[in-house]
Amino acid sequence: MRILTIATSIILSVEGIVGDRTLAQITPDRTLGAENSQVFRDASGQLVDIGGGAIRGTNLFHSFTEFNVGGQQQVYFTNPAGIETILSRVTGGNPSEILGTLGVNGNANLFLLNPNGILFGRDARLDIAGSFGATTADRFSFNNGLEFSAVDPNVPPLLTLTINPGVQPGRVVGGTITNWGNLTAGQDLSLIANTLNLSGRLQAGRALTLRALDTAWIRDRSTHPFLASAGGDLRVQGDRQVNIFALNHPDSGFFAGENLVLRSANAVQGDAHYTAGGDFRIEQLNGRLGSLSSPYDPIIRANGNVSFTRYTGASLHIFAGGAVNIGSVEITGTDVTNAVNETVVLSDGSTLRVSGATQPTLDIRAGTTAVGMPSDVTGTPAPTGLSQSTPSANITIGEIILNQPDGLVFLTNQYQPNSLNGTIELGLVDAIASPVGGSITLDARSGITLNDIVEVSGVDLSTNFITGNGGNVTLLAGGDIRLNEGAIISDGLLGGNIRLNSEGAIAIRGTGNSTEYSIASNTFTDTAGANSGSIEITAQSLSSSNAGNIAAITFGNGNAGNITISTDDFISLDNSEIVNVVEIGATGSGGDINVTTRSLSLENVSGILALTLADGAAGDVNLTARESASLNDSQVASFVNLGAAGQGGNLNLSTSSLLVTNGAQVSANTLGLGSAGQVRINAADSVILDGISDDGIASGVFSNVFNRIDADGLIIATEGNGGNIDLTTRSLSILNGAQINASTEGIGDAGNINLNANSVRVTGTGFDSFQNIFSPSSIVSEVLFDADGAGGSISLTAATLEVSDGAQISASTDGLGNAGNLDLNITDSVTLTGTASGLFADTLTGSSGNGGSIFLSSNQVFIQDEASIGVGSDGFGVGGNIQINGNSLFLDNRGLISARTASTTGGNITLNFADAIVLRRESEISTTAGTAQAGGDGGNVTVDTNFLVAVESENSDITANAFQGQGGNISITAIGVFGIAPREAQTELSDITASSEFGVDGVIEINRPDVDPSRGTAELPTDVVDASRLVAQGCSAGNEAIASQIGEFTITGRGGLPPSPTEQLNGDAILADWETLETPADLQTAPADAASAIEPAPAELVEAQGWAIAPNGQLTLIAQATATPHFPWATSATCR
C-alpha cells in the first residue's frame, strides 16, 4: 500500500548506469483500445497511480510503450475488486528503470514484462503484498495456449478473449534484469531474463525464483550486502552459468525457508553462504545433480539434505539437518574471511579445532540442529523442524581431493545431533601434501564405510618424493566401520596417527593383494629416534579378510609406531596380517603390536608379525585373548630376517585356551645377526597344537636360528641367538605332528623351552597331503647340521606327562654345538608308549657336539610298547647322562632306557626309585658303547630301589657293554632283586651284563642294604599255621601234572603279604616292613576244614587279579579285581 505524501526531489545516481531521473516516464500504449492503461500523478509527480487496463476474469492487463519509476517516485497499480493478477507489458524499445517504489494498492500479484530489460536501482523497492515477477521474455503464455505479447501486442485481440488462470513467461530472447535495490514481495518473487545482474536485496514471503537463460551474475559489496531470502523455495538458475560472489559483506547470503536450488548446465560458481529450511541442491538443467565451484569460501546450512555431484574450491563448510550427498570434493585452499572458527567436541570427548581460514578444510556436519537462520532476515521463517525429505543424516562422498598442506577433512553427524540416524560413506580421499599431509576426522552416529583409499601422506606431488609428515586419521562410529577394499594410509617422514573407534564392529576387506595394506602408518625420516604415528583400533569386534592388512613400518632412522587393537568380543583375521616392520636399510626400531580381545582367530595364511629386516630392533607382540585364541594355517611371529642385525621382539600371548592347527605357528626366529625374541604363552585352561599343513609345515611353537643363503647359493651362518619359549597352561596337548621347537643351524645358540602345565600330552605323527608320515609330534631342542651354536634346554613341570604313538621330547645336535638337556619334573606320572615314542638327548652321525642329559623326576614312570628314554652319541661328541628319580618305574614290552653311543663313551644312567623298578617282556636298561663296533667305554648304570623285579624268561636286561672299550659298571642297591641276574654275556633270559667284546668287562655290584647278618634270621610269626590244612587242593585234584608245573606258593615273611594267613594287610602299600605278631590271649588256631580237602571235578583255574577283605577280616583272592593293582607286575604271570 502507498502513503500519499509529498516528497522532495532527491537526485540519485545508480552506480553510473542510469542518469539523474527524478521523475521517470510512464507512457501507456493504445493496444488495449478503450481499456488502455491510465496514469494519475499528484501535483509533484512523485506519487503515481496506474488505473484502467483490460480486465479478463481475475486478471488485469496493462500495456505501456515506456515504463519507468523515478528515484523519488512511488508508482502503484490500482487493484480493482476481484482482480488477483496484474500483468503489465512494455511494448516500446527501451528498458524499464525502476529507481523508486513500485507497488500494488491491494493484494493482487504484479508481473512486469519488458523484453528490452529492467533495471532496479539502488533505492528501488517493492510494496507488493502478493507476488511479483519481472521478466525480459517477449510474452506471457497461458495454459490454454493464448499469449499476451510485448513484441506483437495486437494479436490476439484481448478484448474478445476470456483468459483462463495460469500464466508463464514466454520465450526469452534477450534483455537483462539488473537489481541494486531492495525488492520484497509478500508472496512469490521471480526475476527471469536472458541475463541477471543482481545485487541488493531480494525477499519473498514464499518462493524466490531467479532465472537467466544465459548467466545469473550475483555480487555484493563491502558496503552493500546481497541478500536472497525466501519463506519457501529459493531457486537460482543460469542456463549457461550461475556466477555468485557474495562474501564481501557479512550479512550477504541466500536464505530459504524451504528448499534452495542452484541450477546450471555448467558448474555453479557459488562463493556465498547458503541457508535452507529444506534441502540444498546443485542441479543441472535436467534436474540431475550438478557441480559447485567456489574459489573462496562457501558455507551451506540446510535443515534438510545437501546434494551435488562435485565441489571445487576453498574451504567448504556444510551444516545439514539431513543427509549430505556429494560426488566429489576438491579443496584448493583456505579463505581468510571464513566465518567458521571453533573447537568441536567429538563424540568420544576429544576436541578438534576447525578453522577454514587457517587450514584448507572440508567441514561437513549432517544430522545437526545447528543450522540456524539470521535473525535480521525478514520474510524468511527460521527452520523449526526436519524437512520431510530428510529420512537420514547420512554423509556420502565419492571422492575427496585435498592436496594442500595441513588440510582437514571433518565429517560428522554427531555435532549437536538431531534424532536422525546417520552413516558416513566415502570413496577415494586424497589428502596428500607436503610438508604435512592432511588430517581426516570422521565422527559418525552410526556406521562408517570406506570404499577406496584414504591417504594423508606427506608427499611432494611435483616430485612424488616423501618430504613431509603424514597426517592423522580418526574414525569414530556409533555403529560399524567397514573398509570395502578401502584403505587408510599415512606415509611420511613421520607417519601420522590412525585411530578407529567403533561401538559396533570393524570389518576390513582388502583387495586380495598381499603386498597392499588396508591400514598403514609408515615412517621414512632420517632423524634418529623420531617416533612415527601409531595405529589404534577399538571396537566390539574386528574382522579382516582378503588381504586386509594392517601395518606400521619404518623405512628410515625413525621408529615405527605401535599398533594397538582392543575389542570386547572377537578379532578374526582371514588371509590378512597385522605387521610391524623395520624395513631393509632402516635403523629405527619397530613398534609394538598390542592386541586385547575375548576371542582371537587367525586362519587362511593370516599373521600377526613383528619383523626386522635391518639394523633396527623389531617390536614386541603382546596378545591377550580372554577366552580363546585360534590359529589355523596362520602365524603369530617375531622375526629377524636375512642379514638383519636388529634384535627380534618378544612375543607374549595370554589366553584361556590356545588352538594351533594346520601348519599354524607361534614363533620367534632369526636369520640374521640379531637375536630372536622370547616366546611367552600363558593359557589358563589349555594349549592344543595339532597337525601339519598339506605342504608339510608343522603346527606349533617355534624359536629358531636359521642359516641364510646368499645370491651365489653359499650358506652364511646366522649369529643371532634364539629366544626362549616359556609356556604355562593347565593342559598342553601336542598332536598329529605338531611341535614345540627351539633350534639353531647357525653360530647363535638356540633358546630354551620352559613348559609348566598340569597335564602334558604329546602324541601321534603328522601326515602330508599324500598321507605320508611327515613328522612326529614333539618337543624339540635341536642343533642342526654344521651349526656352532648350543642347543637349548627343555624344562617341563607338570603333574602328568604322556608321550605316545611315535611322539618325542628330544634335545639333539647334528653340528658343532652341544645339545641341550631335558629337565622334567612330573609330580604324578609319566607314561611313554608306542614305537619311537620317548624322551631323547642325542648327537647325530657326523656331529661333534656333545649330547645333552635327561633329568626326570616323577612318582611313577611307565615306559612301554617300544617307547624309550635315551641319550646317545652317533657322532664324535660325548653322549649325555640319564637320571630318573621317583617312587616306581615300570618298563614293559620292549620299554627302553638307553645311554648308548656308536664310538664314544656311553652315558651314565642313574635310577633312584623308592619302591620298585620292574622290567617286563624284553625291556632294557642299557649304557652300551661301541654300537658301531668301535671304541668307547660303556657307561655306568646306578640303580637304587627297594625292589628290582623282572621275569627271568622274558629277556629283560640291564647292560653296560662295550665293543672295544671297557664295559661300564653296574651298581644296584636293592632290598630284593627278582627274576634278573648277573651274567658274563647276554642270554635269552633276563640278564645283568657289563661285558666288552674286545676290552675289559665292567663290574656288576648288587648291594642289599639294611641286612645285618649278626642278627641271624628274622623272628617268625608266633601263630604257626599248617598250610596243608588251609590251602585248597583244586589244582592237584585229578591233575597232578598241572599242579606240579604251577609250583609253590611261598610266604617269605616280608613285603607284599602279611606273615600269617590269619593276619590282615596293614595298608595299601606294595611292600611292608618286617612285623612281629603279638599273640593275644584269646587267639585260637583255626581248625582245618576236612570237607574242603577234596573238590568236585575242577574247572580251569583263573589267574587271581587281587584280593578282598570281608567285614569279618577274612582275606579272599579274586579273579576280577575291582581296583587296579599298584603295578601290572602285581598280577601272576603263570596261573591259569
Bridge partners, residue 848, by sequence: none
List, for residues 856-871, the tens digit of each pLDDT value.
Answer: 999 999 999 999 999 8
- Residue 11 is predicted with a pLDDT of 23
- Length of the chain, please? 1136
Give the 3-state secondary structure of residue 910: strand
| DSSP E strand boundaries for 199-240 | 201-204, 208-219, 227-230, 234-238
HEC sequence for 525-583:
CCCCCCECCCEEEEEEEEEEECCCCEEEEECCCCECCCEEEEEEEEEEEECCEEEEEEC
What separation, in Å, do the N-terminal and C-terminal C-alpha atoms of the chain show?
133
How would residue 464 be classed by pLDDT, with cut points 50, 70 and 90?
confident
The answer to whether residue 732 scores a pLDDT higher than 90 is: yes
Flag the least confident range among 474-478, 493-497, 1089-1093, 1094-1098.
1089-1093
DSSP 1041: H
Amino acid at 805: D
The answer to whether residue 1086 scores a pLDDT higher than 60 is: no
- C-alpha–C-alpha distance, residues 305 and 367, integer Å: 9
- Residue 1111 is predicted with a pLDDT of 55
Flag the least confident range among 247-256, 368-377, 541-550, 812-821.
368-377
| pTM reported for the whole predicted model | 0.81
- C-alpha–C-alpha distance, residues 1075 and 1066, integer Å: 10
The answer to whether residue 583 scores a pLDDT higher than 60 is: yes
Flag the least confident range among 716-725, 780-789, 966-975, 1113-1122.
1113-1122
How would residue 1047 be classed by pLDDT, with cut points 50, 70 and 90?
low
Contact in structure between 334 and 361 (CB atoms under 8 Å): yes
The answer to whether residue 155 scores a pLDDT higher than 70 is: no
**Helix %, strand %, coil % of the chain (to 5):** 5, 45, 50
How would residue 1033 be classed by pLDDT, with cut points 50, 70 and 90?
very low
- Residue 379 is predicted with a pLDDT of 53
- C-alpha–C-alpha distance, residues 1001 and 788, integer Å: 36
- Residue 13 is predicted with a pLDDT of 32
What average pLDDT does range 274-293 have in this prediction? 95
How would residue 1095 be classed by pLDDT, with cut points 50, 70 and 90?
very low
Residue located via cell numbers 583263573 = 1102
Cell of 407: 588440510
Amino acid at 78: T
C-beta neighbour count of 988 within 10 angstroms: 9
What average pLDDT does range 475-482 have in this prediction? 96
- Residue 30 is predicted with a pLDDT of 87
How would residue 612 be classed by pLDDT, with cut points 50, 70 and 90?
confident
The answer to whether residue 99 scores a pLDDT higher than 90 is: yes
How would residue 1119 be classed by pLDDT, with cut points 50, 70 and 90?
low
- C-alpha–C-alpha distance, residues 959 and 565, integer Å: 60
**What φ, ψ does residue 970 adopt, rounded to 5°?**
-120, 125
**What φ, ψ does residue 789 adopt, rounded to 5°?**
-80, 155
> Rounded mean pLDDT of the chain?
84
Give the 3-state secondary structure of residue 502: strand
The answer to whether residue 519 scores a pLDDT higher than 50 is: yes
What average pLDDT does range 675-685 have in this prediction? 94
Give the 3-state secondary structure of residue 830: strand
- Residue 928 is predicted with a pLDDT of 78
DSSP 815: S
Cell of 1010: 639294611
Give the 3-state secondary structure of residue 984: coil
